[in-house]
């Protein structure tokens, strides 16, 4: 540990970009982990959709929208809310609105995650650059040193070069591991968001056809028209 600290102190200008990349990666890992594993998931999805189903099929759309408002930070609830707000409009309008809502939700879910992969690659390359610079400096010093000093200078140069590689990998490996976990969880959330759009679309259709059955004339009955104004 002491050797790494000494290496950083003696070669700060070389390792500063690696340390900066590591600090940025740490911030992104913390922020994305908090969002992906804690803020965005909607716990109790079955109970949530059961409640929404009850509201929608009983023509209580405004109450369903208000219920979604309690989960505004959750992408699934936001998508369902956007669908409910368009429940009185034609099917094509509802579908397009849900597509936009799903796209926005997935953009939020995947935000900044790709930077972790980039940081890992850049940190590895910066470590390799430090290795090359360390070897160049050591060979230049050996070329102008006396025979008694050459072995010591060469060993010191190789140690510096290896420390640079190790520091780059120490940043890259955690970033790649975090990238894999966060990406896997984000993909699952994206699938849940897409399914939520399908579910709310099906509920709106069920509401419409339930109204048609309840009012065969299709005039002013409950849910008798997809253009019906939301109460």
200-209: per-residue pLDDT in tens? 999 988 887 7
E strands, the chain, where?
none
15-28: per-residue pLDDT in tens? 888 999 999 999 99
72-86: per-residue pLDDT in tens? 889 999 999 999 999
Entry pTM: 0.78
93-130: per-residue pLDDT in tens? 999 999 999 999 999 999 999 999 999 999 999 988 88
Q: CA-CA distance, 127 to 59, in Å (whole number)? A: 62
For residue 74 the two structure tokens come to 């959750």
Question: Quick check: 109 and 186 in contact, CB under 8 A?
Answer: yes
For residue 86 the two structure tokens come to 């368009």
168-186: per-residue pLDDT in tens? 999 999 999 999 999 999 9
Candidates 4, 76, 93; CA nearest to 40 is: 76
**213 vs 218: which has the higher pLDDT:** 213
Q: CA-CA distance, 168 to 9, in Å (whole number)? A: 16
Query: Rounded to a whole number, what is the distance in angstroms from the first to the last CA of the chain?
Result: 67
């Amino acid at each position: 540990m002491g050797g790494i600290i000494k290496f950083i102190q003696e070669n700060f200008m070389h390792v500063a970009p690696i340390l900066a990349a590591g600090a940025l990666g740490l911030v992104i890992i913390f922020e994305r982990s908090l969002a992906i594993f804690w803020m965005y998931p909607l716990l109790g999805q079955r109970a949530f959709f059961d409640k929404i189903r009850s509201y929608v099929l009983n023509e209580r759309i405004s109450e369903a929208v208000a219920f979604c408002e309690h989960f505004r930070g959750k992408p699934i609830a936001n998508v369902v809310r956007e669908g409910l707000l368009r429940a009185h409009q034609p099917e094509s309008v509802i579908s397009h609105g849900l597509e936009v809502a799903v796209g926005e939700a997935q953009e939020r879910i995947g935000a900044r995650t790709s930077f972790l992969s980039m940081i890992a690659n850049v940190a590895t390359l910066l470590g390799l650059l430090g290795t090359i610079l360390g070897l160049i400096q050591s060979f230049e010093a050996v070329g102008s040193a006396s025979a008694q000093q050459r072995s010591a200078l060469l060993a010191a140069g190789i140690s510096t070069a290896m420390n640079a590689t190790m520091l780059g990998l120490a940043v890259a490996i955690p970033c790649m591991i975090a990238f894999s976990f966060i990406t896997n969880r984000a993909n699952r959330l994206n699938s849940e968001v897409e399914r939520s759009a399908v579910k709310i679309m099906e509920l709106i259709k069920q509401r419409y056809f339930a109204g048609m059955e309840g009012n065969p004339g299709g005039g002013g009955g409950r849910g008798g028209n997809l253009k019906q104004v939301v109460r």
